[in-house]
Amino acid sequence: MKKPDAVYLPERLHWLVPLDQSGTVRADSLIKQKLPGLSRRIREELFSRQAVRINGRPVAKGFKPLAGDRLEIEIPGPLSPFPIPRKELNPTVVFEDQSFLIIEKPGLIPTHPISPFETGTLANALVAFWPRIIGVGKKPLESGLVHRLDSGTSGLLVVALEQEVWLQLKKDLSAKKWKKIYWALVEGIIPKPIKISLPLAHDPADERKMKGIRNPSDSYRGRVYQAITQIHPKRGFKGYTLIEIRLITGVTHQIRAHLSYYGHPVAGDTLYGSTSGKKLSLPAGRFFLHAGQLSLPHPITREQIHCNAGLPEDLQKVLTLLE
């Protein structure tokens, strides 16, 4: 896979709006004309950072400047299609060889950036410590990542060091050759094992969420995904249950959406209806969901690899609080 080149720009660019575009062309369209190599996401990021100005004043992307107005763009640095290398976060390695890694992602750390300007994600650290992963995979900002975990989720994550390895790992994941076990603390009492088989789709009322689809008449956005989750209660507390979760399928937000639909949201998951995060001393955005066990065939030797990551300290403290 050919790695796309970085787009190198000076710190500031400026142009004067010509007479034939006076009051008729939006600011974002002018930038697209002047810098056709910038993606739509990067252009939108520039506006959200107030880095686009007319005559020195920040403007919205729909603003239509007049002839002679000075259009200015402040660029924070070279625009690379890959994550910016940052070593502030030192990833915890659970398994490593010459072909792939299994690392433990902390809670509240995004897996990867959504724009070239973003730092503070796990992917920024990965490309800093393992630069050979740059360009591995299909999406530049997700270099090396075979799958993702939500920002509020902690646990095991697989990273390929080579493109062929990434392809094999993705193939095995799609073929359900991985076995993943999560642990979650949910609101309410779950007395016995249950199997949730509930299709999921994007919620048209909230683009951040998935929703359960019971009937063909249910409203949804995009396609409907089959989703199956197995739940085993491990320990009961007053008003809460610690559960073990096995994913039969892997759909975005599957665990969170399934548990919420059945009235047992993950503790701290306010997006899906939890009200207990503050009571349990969970910071905003962190919920009690941890990817603790992973088994998968080695992408080259086909030997079975087993990895474990116990509950992190912040989640252990929650259980201590409930005891």
Q: Which residue numbers are catalytic?
A: 150
- The token pair that represents 191 in the structure block: 């007395």
Burial (CB count within 10 angstroms: exposed 0-12, middle 13-18, buried 19+), residue 307: middle
Radius of gyration of the chain (CA): 23
The backbone torsions φ and ψ at residue 79, rounded to the nearest 5 degrees and listed phi first, read -90, 110
User: Any idea what DSSP says for residue 204?
Assistant: T
Strands (E), the chain: 12-16, 52-54, 57-58, 70-74, 92-96, 100-105, 154-160, 179-187, 194-197, 200-202, 210-212, 221-225, 228-237, 240-247, 289-297, 304-308
| Helices 27-34, 40-48: crossing angle, 10 deg rounding | 130
Strand order across the beta sheet in which 52-54 lies: 12-16, 70-74, 52-54, 57-58
Please give the C-alpha separations between residue 142 and each of 42, 158, 262, 310, 316, in angstroms, as whole numbers: 16, 12, 32, 26, 30
